Structure 1
Amino acid sequence: MPPGTATGQGARGPQVGTLPNLLGAAGDAITTSRAGSATAAEGGPTAVGPIGDPSRAAGPATVVFGAALFTRAPPSATDSPNPNYVIRAGDRVSVTIWGFIEASVVGVVDPEGNLFLPQIGPIRVAGTRAGDVQRVVEAEVRRVYSQQVQVYAVLLNASQVGVFVTGYVRLPGRHMGAGSDSILDYLTRAGGVDPGRGSYRDIAVNRGGRTVARVDLYRFLLTGQLPNITMQEGDTVVVAPQGAMVGADGAVRNNFLFEVSGRAMPGSELLRLASPLPSATNAVIRGTRGSQPFARYATVRELGSLQLMDQDTITFITDSPAPTVRVSIEGSRIGPSVLIADRDTTLCTLLDHVAVDPVLANPAGVFLLRPSVAAQQTRVINEAMDRLERQLFMAVSSTTGVAEIRAVEANLVSTYIQRARRTRPEGRLVVMDRTGRCADVRLEDGDVVVIPERVQTVLVSGEVSVPQAVVWRPDMRIPDYVRAAGGFAERGVETQVMIRKASGELILEPTEGPAPGDELIALPRLDPKNFQIARDLLNLIFQSALSARVFMN
């Protein structure tokens, strides 16, 4: 919703407006980083649904492209030819004739390609498709008996042929199959191309001392094309040695080792085979040139014009900043939960596009959850725990009794430290002051803007007898809330209290009572005899449980 506007439901329902309208009149307390960013269509944030990260980090390529062709069991030879099988010498054909004459013959196609039928004579069927044998035989019979004769002819089974498969395959030797079986069938019966030594791009079919076909399995993998060849007895399939290999990994769809058809592969061919993701902008090329390590950094566009050599590895990465940031909206909101904004968009500008219900939302309590702040808080907590552990276990005791006391205390604190190390700070960033003024902080990708709901209670916690939520009243002061929670506990003291506002801001020495939605915390009294450790432990409690960064002027 554009800033400075609001819609309502009349006197019977609450109004709906954007956050700046609720924070100050006409946006007086709001500053923006750009002028004229009133609507999403004019450059403001764009609402989207939840989306996934398009980038993907793949490991180094170790699988040869095409190896999956031969992971299944080899196909068994079948006696049932397909309709496109071409009949040849040695095939068995069944012919049944009834009507004026009756005959039933199961014959074998002779070396001349003929099938002999009594009272009919030889019929040439060699070279005929299995699906056309009925038509061919019936036409020849009707040349002799033109009327009152019915004919049924079918190819029973194709003759088996032995094909030699050799070269860089796992099971070289002679393998049986039908002449109509593809070269893939014979390669699979031979265990497939050896992925560590054999070529997927240079496979020859030899017959009678000459090469009758060459096969590049990459054409089959990418376009489904195989040479249309009928295998014959004595054919030899030879798999050549493996050619040069180039690997692709990172932001690619095909994370494989690709075989080079020659001595070098154009970068454009690798782009076609590897299919980089849309997010890939650059490539890291690693290899060897002149017996020396070689590395180059190039854009994806530049890669297309480069020559890649044997054993090169190309890692595709995303190496350009995104022009936008993704920000999530949580809490009391009306509208989308995710906004996409320009990288220079500030919080106040973003809030111009967040609609809220003024009755339910608490604009003064808005805060940010920032992953980078959470990481910094985690580091600070770990460093504080390391210092505390050194003080616990490296302190010198004057007597045995003092040493025993310190050992017991050290074990207790050490137990707390182990539990504290599992604390995950939320990375809260305080962006609202006590008057509800917004800090014009630039947004980061992954930020979460939290808009708390209005509540009429104050949470009293810490060193009180009964920690609980107490209903807020304007005439109540800090002692009144403590009494409502059962008074101070044994380690509680009246001078050690603080208030945490809904926005995350901490007030260590409060002079006024809490507001609705605040948290009143009674801090523990420090033990003077071990002041340093107690102070560090208390500081650790603050950092792990109440950690927040203030970003206000």
Structure 2
Amino acid sequence: MNIFKTTTVWLLTSVFLMPSAFAAFEPSTIDLQDSTSTGIPQIEANEDTGTNSIGSYQNQSRSGILLPGEVDVRELLPSSGEDNPPPYGANLFAGGYETERVDGLNENYLIAAGDQINIWIWGAVSYSSVVTVDNQGNIFIPNIGPINVLDVPASDVNQLVQSKIKAIYTNNVEVYVNLLTATPVSIYLSGAIIRPGQYAGMASDSVLYYLKRAGGIDTERGSYRSIQIIRDNKILKEVDLYDFVQTGQLPSITFKDKDVILVKPQKSAVNVSGGVKNPFRFELKKKQTKGSELAEYAKPLVKISHVGIFGNRDSGPFSVYLTYQDFLNYTLQDGDSLVFNDDNHAQVIDVQVSGSYLGPSYFAVKKSTHLHDVLNAIPIVPSLTDNQSIYILRKSVAERQKQILDDSLDKLERSVFTAPASSDGEASIRAKEAELVMQFVEKARQVKPLGKVIVSDNGVTANILLEKGDQIVIPHYTDLINVGGEVLVPQAIVYNPNATLDDYVAWAGGFTDRADDERVSIVRANGMVVFAKDDKDAKNIKINRGDQVLVLPKVDTKIIQSVKDITQIVYQIAVAANVAIN
């Protein structure tokens, strides 16, 4: 740390030097959000706790998902842009699991008429046979008689039969009983499903299996929260599929012949879109529910700050725009549509530093931070840093430069393709020209502008407002001049204070045949680009340390008609990206 104190100076020495703060500087503890170190306090976003209106929404169309037959998986995928999203849980019936068979012999299975049981007896008595449960629920074993096993759980049948046999053969007899096959059952499915009717399955098959066999629940009419299992005209159990989707809990039911699975009509529902993990239509158990309950299912993203709600009430169409906290206590009703929105503007932005500097390369700063505020916290080694040539790379500027370049290229394409031809010979020339121009356009579109913002000139650095994603470039001090473009030997040349532009070009091998010696650009260390358009400029323009000499190509006026447009584009690329293309 003592080395930093003896070799480091504040970056903007010529502009806003702060010698009093230098001795206390600790590079390892730079924090622009710490008010004790930089004077820039950490900002907390102000939260709007009021309720504001976002205007009057018109009624939205309620055209649901068309389901002529089997459910299409693509229709069940969530999409926040749909007016009427699919219901929550609809993708439960998107898979093909109804073709996966199980043996049905789980421990909770209840023995029914027609089931087959394998019985082994050894020791004093030897007996082995497969017996079938008759219509009265009995199995018959010679010398033992009938044993009633109807509705006995599969896990208990071995103990029951063994106890009956050992009641007769008391000594030196061992028994083993195993349920081999389960009798299929016939179940009726009714209500709001795609294909109601009678379906065969195993008694231990799940409710999901039978619903999938019937095509799934009708997404427009059926309830995913009220599915009744009816036996002998009595409700045996009611299933809520939301419990299964949320926690994996599904009631264990052993079905019997003539059981009925009834899907009740859909309850009240609300549509959810925007910044949530689950943009679906959610069914409410009650006619009204609090926003907090819905949030448990929709799973809003952490960044959500407001919720827009629109729908109809007894008084007519309505819309409100609430903070997320107010939404949690808001009462929702059937038909409401919700849009979860991130409406908090970031009060802290990130800024990157590159080039020659000491300390961290990223800073999280207040949104209103200016360039000098950041530079004041960046130490440098003066002998290694050109602190008079700072510039900024800004994404918004690069995007704008790219848009301007694309517009110019579009204009060039239109001018070539719409150029008139008065004869077949001229048409052939125009076709060849168009081919060359398209090659140029294709290459030019691949150029990525840098987005340079020139902030330093003659040792003075402008104190501009920073934007999110800005990259502050502090150039390294260098004694080299880079010469590139249309020269024979592009290379880096040692700076000579007495050399002219022509000298540097000559040291790089001179101009190529394609070079335009009247259009040479000089890219300064601070990012500024100047052009030498004739011999007088070449002699008068001073080349400084760290400059880049870029010789631009010339456009052949003999074969290309749009010389002016192409020349303009070449200039734009040289300025925006510091490159020269043919």
Which band: TM-score by shorter chain? 0.7 to 0.9
Tell me the distance in 2 between the aligned counterparts of 1:182 and 1:393: 67
What amino acid is the match of 1:428? K
Match in the other structure for 1:449: 472
Alignment of 1:519 with 2:548, yes or no, is: yes
Larger mean CA deviation between 173-182 and 338-347 belongs to 338-347
Tell me the distance in 2 between the aligned counterparts of 1:312 and 1:482: 72
- After superposition, the C-alpha distances for 1:124-153 in whole angstroms (9 at most, x for unaligned) are 434432123222322333333332111111
Closer, same or farther: CA 246–252 of 1 in aligned 2, 3 Å: same
Equivalent residues in 2 for 1:93-104 (5 A)? Answer: 93-104=117-128
Consecutive unaligned residues of structure 2, counting only runs of 5 or more, are 41-78, 532-536, 557-561, 578-582
Match in the other structure for 1:51: none
What amino acid is the match of 1:39? I
Closer, same or farther: CA 385–212 of 1 in aligned 2, 3 Å: closer
Tell me the distance in 2 between the aligned counterparts of 1:59 and 1:199: 23
Consecutive unaligned residues of structure 1, counting only runs of 5 or more, are 10-14, 47-56, 528-532, 549-553
Alignment of 1:68 with 2:91, yes or no, is: yes
Tell me the distance in 2 between the aligned counterparts of 1:470 and 1:327: 33
Closer, same or farther: CA 147–450 of 1 in aligned 2, 3 Å: farther
Q: Secondary structure at the match of 2:174?
A: strand
Match in the other structure for 2:30: 39
Larger mean CA deviation between 132-141 and 346-355 belongs to 346-355
Q: Secondary structure at the match of 1:249?
A: strand
2:204 aligns with one of 180, 188, 202: 180
What amino acid is the match of 1:446? G
Compute the displacement of 1:325 (Å).
Answer: 0.8
Aligned length: 516
Compute the displacement of 1:265 (Å).
Answer: 4.6
Compute the displacement of 1:341 (Å).
Answer: 2.4
What amino acid is the match of 1:450? V
Closer, same or farther: CA 155–373 of 1 in aligned 2, 3 Å: same
Tell me the distance in 1 between the aligned counterparts of 2:330 and 2:495: 72
Tell me the distance in 2 between the aligned counterparts of 1:161 and 1:503: 83
Q: Secondary structure at the match of 1:130?
A: coil
Tell me the distance in 1 between the aligned counterparts of 2:508 and 2:259: 94
Q: Secondary structure at the match of 1:163?
A: strand
Tell me the distance in 2 between the aligned counterparts of 1:537 and 1:118: 105
Tell me the distance in 2 between the aligned counterparts of 1:457 and 1:134: 93
2:575 aligns with one of 543, 546, 549: 546
Compute the displacement of 1:162 (Å).
Answer: 0.8
TM-score (norm: length of structure 2): 0.73
Match in the other structure for 1:429: 453
CA contact (8 A) 1:97 1:104 kept: yes
Q: Secondary structure at the match of 2:223?
A: strand
Closer, same or farther: CA 310–546 of 1 in aligned 2, 3 Å: same
2:190 aligns with one of 148, 163, 166: 166
- After superposition, the C-alpha distances for 1:200-225 in whole angstroms (9 at most, x for unaligned) are 12212222222222222112211223
Compute the displacement of 1:310 (Å).
Answer: 4.2
Identical residues among aligned pairs (%): 35
CA contact (8 A) 1:287 1:313 kept: yes
What amino acid is the match of 2:546? G
2:10 aligns with one of 21, 24, 34: 21
Tell me the distance in 2 between the aligned counterparts of 1:424 and 1:329: 20
What amino acid is the match of 1:174? Q
- After superposition, the C-alpha distances for 1:68-125 in whole angstroms (9 at most, x for unaligned) are 2112241466545112223344433222211122223433345554443333344443
Match in the other structure for 1:329: 353
CA contact (8 A) 1:465 1:488 kept: yes
Match in the other structure for 1:145: 169
Alignment of 1:81 with 2:105, yes or no, is: yes
Q: CA RMSD in A?
A: 4.6
- After superposition, the C-alpha distances for 1:389-446 in whole angstroms (9 at most, x for unaligned) are 99999999xx99xx99x999997997667865665432111233332x5433232111
Alignment of 1:207 with 2:196, yes or no, is: no
What amino acid is the match of 2:542? G
What amino acid is the match of 1:469? A
- After superposition, the C-alpha distances for 1:179-233 in whole angstroms (9 at most, x for unaligned) are 2222222212222212243221221222222222222211221122333432111
Q: Secondary structure at the match of 1:131?
A: coil
Compute the displacement of 1:258 (Å).
Answer: 2.0
Match in the other structure for 2:152: 128
Q: Secondary structure at the match of 2:456?
A: coil
Tell me the distance in 2 between the aligned counterparts of 1:346 and 1:75: 65
Tell me the distance in 2 between the aligned counterparts of 1:103 and 1:537: 101
Closer, same or farther: CA 471–341 of 1 in aligned 2, 3 Å: same
